[in-house]
Structure 1
Amino acid sequence: MQKKSMIGLSQNQIKLFAAAAMVLDHVGMELLPQWTILRIIGRLAFPVFSYCICEGSRRTYHPWQYLLRLFGMGLLCMWAYYVYDKTVYGNILITFSLSLCVLYAFQYLQTCWRKNKLALRFAGVAVMLGCVGGIWLICDWMIIDYGFYGVMLPLFAELPACIGEKYSDAGDKRDWIRLCGFSVGLLVVSLQIGGIQIFSLLAIPFLLAYNGTRGEKNLKHFFYWFYPVHLLLIGLVSMCI
């Protein structure tokens, strides 16, 4: 569903902004480590993409295809990381794949809870707890970008939005509640990671400007390929220097 208001930034626009910030971040990490400002700007990328994952989980017509595409690209990047430096690293696409899993589990819990049947509610709680517990074990077993709290960040946007049914027909109010919850989660992630991660809070004004529309063009495939392609290009430049 798209809002009628065209005031503000579309999802395409805020994701392009986040993509540019990510490029600067990785250039600063690989090519210009002395330029701390690039890493600071790069802190703006993760919150924007994380919030868009939350949006996508609610709006997609093909949730499992969405998850499989994201996870497939994440596995491709994992393989590339392993070939490059022999490490098993859960890149940001793996982080977002796990975020989608916990969001889908929460949506299932909500569906079961509305049925008002004890067995279904028990099943919903079991699925949710099993998903969160499984993700915690994965994050403990291997390096996942932004860690357990980073994976859970989109859930901070969904939990406050289901406080009361009175918000079910008030889209703007519900979006404000989501953004408030997300901001709290982002603060938790920033404090947990420490250092310059606190600058990720500067992404909140850009999310406030988000008008809820996707934008005129479908850039879905561009954003799927952007992450591995820009890393490959930066890696090639790094090897040539």
Structure 2
Amino acid sequence: MNSLILKLIALTTMIIDHYGAIFQPGNLTFRLIGRLAFPIYCFLLVEGFFHTKDVKKYSLRLFLFALISELPFDYAFFGGIYWGHQNIFFTLFIGLIAMILLEKSKDGSYITKLLVGLSAAFIATVLSTDYAYIGIIYILAFYYTHWIPSLKRLTIVAAIMFLTNMIGSSGLQQYSLLALIPLMMYNNKQGLKNKILQLSFYAAYPLHLLLFAILK
């Protein structure tokens, strides 16, 4: 299973999740399916970080789409401009910046690395980004285990996710562990890749939220 297929799984399950949250909040089936999306996006973020040729462009692209997506996100979920919750691109952006700083302090002390992680989690929480500190923990779990063999890596990540979900979220979030099943099948290949396809996956986030906002 290549990264293109993983992106399609993440995108599809995310749209299903958002449909359920906006139009059928009482039906947990949609939300359960949607739990697969975010861990896959965290995994792909880390893979992208280690394989990108230009991390500055990567971070700028995430930040740009975070800004573009905020109004569709607000109107889809809250019916208007709302400062109390920010879209998932902000979480991914903060996680990416944390990884950049951690790489720069690779030879630094454990305290420095801990401060980077804690600062990222704090910023995500203060800004009320989607998943907040839980999202940062997911991202850093995949980051720190990147060079560990796949099965052992995902076992460690599963334990971290389980404990994080248990402490910081509802029982429904434990279904996010199911995302590790397709990740186990990842073959370290990208699949079909071009600029149009790449931007389409980014644009799908604000566009589907805009559509849901209009329908709502």
- The question of a shared fold, defined as TM-score above 0.5 by the shorter chain, is answered with yes
State the TM-score, normalizing by the size of structure 1: 0.78
Match of 2:178 in 1: 202
One of 152, 158, 174 as aligned partner of 2:143: 158
Matches within 5 A, 1:115-134: 121=108, 126=112, 128-134=113-119
1:142 aligns with 2:127: yes
Counterpart for residue 169 of structure 1: none
Aligned to 2:155: 180
2:37 counterpart of 1:45: yes
Runs of 4+ in 1 over 6 A off after TM superposition: none
More displaced stretch, 71-80 vs 135-144: 135-144
**Inter-partner Cα distance in structure 2 for 1:23 and 1:82:** 16
Q: For the residues of structure 2 that align with 1:235 and 1:80, how far apart are their CA atoms?
A: 7
The amino acid that maps onto 1:188 is L
Cα separation, partners in 2 of 1:59 and 1:175, compared to 1, 3 Å = farther
Paired residues of 2:13 and 2:33 also in contact (CA < 8 A): yes
Give 2:201's match in structure 1, choosing from 217, 223, 231: 223
Which residue of 101, 116, 129 maps to 1:105? 101
2:47 aligned with 1:72: no
* Larger gyration radius, structure 1 or structure 2: 1
Name the counterpart of 1:117: none
Q: Partner letter of residue 95 of structure 1?
A: T
Q: What is the aligned partner in structure 2 of residue 10 from structure 1? A: 2
Q: CA deviation at 1:81?
A: 4.3
CA RMSD of aligned residues (A): 2.1
* Equivalent in the alignment of 2:23: 31
Does the residue aligned with 1:68 lie in a helix, a strand or coil?
A: helix
**Residues 101, 131 of structure 1: 8 Å contact kept:** no
User: What is the percentage of aligned positions where both structures have the same residue?
Assistant: 28
Of stretches 16-25 and 174-183 in structure 1, the one that deviates more from structure 2 is: 174-183
Deviation of the 1:131 alpha carbon: 3.2
- Aligned match of 2:82: 87
CA contact (8 A) 2:65 2:89 kept: yes
Distance 1:22-1:38 versus aligned 2 partners, 3 A rule = same
What is the deviation of 1:139?
3.0
> Scaled by the length of structure 2, what TM-score is found?
0.87
Contact map agreement 2:91 2:135 (CA 8 A) in 1: yes
Range with bigger deviation, 190-199 or 36-45? 190-199
